[in-house]
Amino acid sequence: MTISAAYQEGTEELTVTFQPPLFLQRRGWVFDVLRREGVREILDVGCGEGSLISCACNPAPWLPPPLPSILETFATTRAESSATASSINDHGTLTEASSHLLPEPVREDFLHPTKVIGLDISAADLEYAAEDSAPSDSRTRWEPLEVQIWEGGLEVVNPAFVGIECIVATEVIEHLPEDVLPQFAPVLLGAYQPRFFLITTPSYTFNARFTAPDAPRTARSGYPDPTKRTSRIFRHHDHKFEWTPQEFAEWCATVADEWDYDVEVGGVGRAVEKDEWGRDDALGYASQVAAFTRRDGEGRAEERQSHFRRMREVQACAENQHTLLVTHQHLAHEKARQPLPPHETGEIIKRTMIGTRQSPIQLGDLWWEESVAAACGGWTELMVAAIAQHADLRLEASEHIPVTEWSAELTEGLPEDESQQMGEVSPYLSASSDESEEPITPLEDDDQPPEDVPHHEHKLIDPWPHSNSENVWDAQSEGRDWSGGGSGWGGSWTTTDSDAAT
């Protein structure tokens, strides 16, 4: 993404490039936090066309780890032996005598939401949000998901949002008019009291990066402060303000103290180009980010509620209510959490390897065979246990790589198969093994792709993004690591507000 003299012709702005694009860096930071905190419920306020929502709707490739009681029926738990490492030979292969002792793989983090909610005031944008978050049979889903799309202002209290686990507001607060801004924190943190609140907003200080230090004021394009409170030039025509890092940090500290939250402030977005005047460190990041974490304890929730009620008594409050536009129900695979016995699962894995003529095969590739994943009920741990216990299968594992890079091998090798030599398709090859679905890429406010790309055709870069964004936090931050989410389906349905009334 390049931000340059795009606002007006004839300016003297410098070329500033972000890689990945700035909106993806912000989204990456949000999903890093959501995954690492195991968030299951998300409310996206100011969701617009639903770019973040549609990302959150992508199903994880497998279920979270099963309860120990379930895993114990398939294999001896890792905790039962301290000799696991010694049971693996020099090649990383589990020996027959200890095939039930498994190393701990490198963790792969995925988001497992059960409820995703979008709120915005634009009915036109919400049409795209509803469309992009609708159920699809393109990928197997192992967990049910409910999606709600609401229309209304964030200054209105919606009882349905009270107690939501996480609220996200990306590039929203700077758009709020003067009469709505004072309600932002009280409603989100005082009325709803989420466990986490994630916010991003532009850094005004970074705007100096677009021009040389001695450039005249006319060299900067952009948009003058519409409120006329300052002489600042903003990045977007609808921005009511843009904060410096100091102003943002002060706002965050005040809000956190008032509503009993801890907060960590940081940023994302560094220019690819090196500033020839050496201002990169001083100007910081293009987008500022902050993660609020609720302080829990006896009486804290009640005090927030009381404080919120006292504030609303002396402030003019909106009387309008939110309108629920649509509810999507994404149903899980019919075999989710219903695994077969380990020996039967092992036999299915063995037949699949013979049918696809793959031995050895990485477990990640094996999981894409729906018959294997269904036999495991959506749990990769049970696939590993079934392979480790089967006499005709050998598991190669390592604690230094993800489980998807572990491999399974037939102990006697692949048998001769005349049908494969003749070019016939094996009956064990699943119909889904050759399918390739292109993911969905949504939009985000203030970072629109070219106008000739239809809104409803945007595709995700990666349906299951890992924690790999290069987010850098305030050096004084401590504690939690915030740096940085077909066949056999049980069906899905969508209800609108009018459907619910009939």
Please tell me whether residues 369 and 304 are part of one structural domain: no
Task: Decide if 221 is inside a domain.
Answer: no
- Bridge partners of 362, per DSSP, are 407
Name the packing angle between helices 380-389 and 342-356 (round to 10°): 90
Q: Which domain holds residue 362?
A: 68-108+339-421
Q: What is the mean pLDDT of each run of 10 residues along the chain (502 residues)?
A: 42 87 96 96 97 95 86 51 38 40 75 97 96 90 97 94 97 94 95 98 94 85 87 89 96 97 97 95 97 96 93 69 96 95 95 94 95 96 93 92 94 78 43 40 42 38 37 36 34 41 38
Please tell me whether residues 147 and 114 are part of one structural domain: yes
Q: How far apart are CA 206 and CA 271, in angstroms?
A: 10
Task: Decide if 296 is inside a domain.
Answer: yes
Residue that is last in its domain, among 370, 402, 421: 421
265 in Cβ contact with 248 (< 8 Å):
yes
Looking at residue 304, its pLDDT comes to: 95
Provide the CATH number for the domain around residue 325: 3.40.50.150
Please tell me whether residues 142 and 200 are part of one structural domain: yes
16 in Cβ contact with 73 (< 8 Å):
no
Vertex 258 angle, CA 304 and 252, to 5°: 125
DSSP 397: -
Q: Can you list the alpha helix ranges (DSSP code H) found in 260-299?
A: 280-283
Task: Decide if 428 is inside a domain.
Answer: no
Residue that is last in its domain, among 302, 330, 358: 330
For the chain, how many structural domains are there in total? 2
Q: How far apart are CA 410 and CA 353, in angstroms?
A: 8
Distances (CA, A) of 159 to 191, 299, 398: 9, 21, 48
- Least Cα distance to 45 among 238, 200, 210, 265 occurs for 200
Please tell me whether residues 78 and 51 are part of one structural domain: no
Please tell me whether residues 265 and 409 are part of one structural domain: no
What sign has the CA pseudo-torsion 27, 33, 36, 41? Answer: negative
Please tell me whether residues 280 and 188 are part of one structural domain: yes
The CB density around residue 452, as the number of other CB atoms within 10 Å, is 5
Task: Decide if 501 is inside a domain.
Answer: no
- Residue 32, both tokens: 């890093």
Looking at residue 42, its pLDDT comes to: 98
What is the phi/psi pair of residue 209, to 5°? Answer: -65, -20
Q: How far apart are CA 428 and CA 425, in angstroms?
A: 9
* Exposed/middle/buried for residue 79 (C-beta within 10 Å: 0-12, 13-18, 19+): exposed
Task: Decide if 52 is inside a domain.
Answer: yes
What sign has the CA pseudo-torsion 20, 22, 28, 29? Answer: positive
Please tell me whether residues 150 and 289 are part of one structural domain: yes
- Least Cα distance to 107 among 362, 385, 397, 402 occurs for 402
Please tell me whether residues 289 and 310 are part of one structural domain: yes
Task: Decide if 231 is inside a domain.
Answer: no
What is the phi/psi pair of residue 489, to 5°? Answer: -75, 150
25 in Cβ contact with 471 (< 8 Å):
yes
Looking at residue 431, its pLDDT comes to: 41
- Residue 224, both tokens: 């003058």
Task: Decide if 485 is inside a domain.
Answer: no
Looking at residue 317, its pLDDT comes to: 62
Write b or e for each residue in 274-309: b if 16 or more Cβ atoms lie within 10 A of its Cβ, otherwise e. ebeeeeeeebbbbbbbbbbbbeeeeeeeeebeebbe
Looking at residue 96, its pLDDT comes to: 40
Please tell me whether residues 132 and 176 are part of one structural domain: yes
Residue by residue, what is the 3-state secondary structure of 407-438? Answer: EEEECCCCCCCHHHHCCCCCCCCCCCCCCCCC
Please tell me whether residues 73 and 181 are part of one structural domain: no
Residue that is last in its domain, among 373, 394, 421: 421
Please tell me whether residues 264 and 316 are part of one structural domain: yes
Please tell me whether residues 54 and 150 are part of one structural domain: yes
Task: Decide if 496 is inside a domain.
Answer: no
**pTM as predicted:** 0.77
What is the phi/psi pair of residue 155, to 5°? Answer: -75, -10
Q: How far apart are CA 120 and CA 349, in angstroms?
A: 47
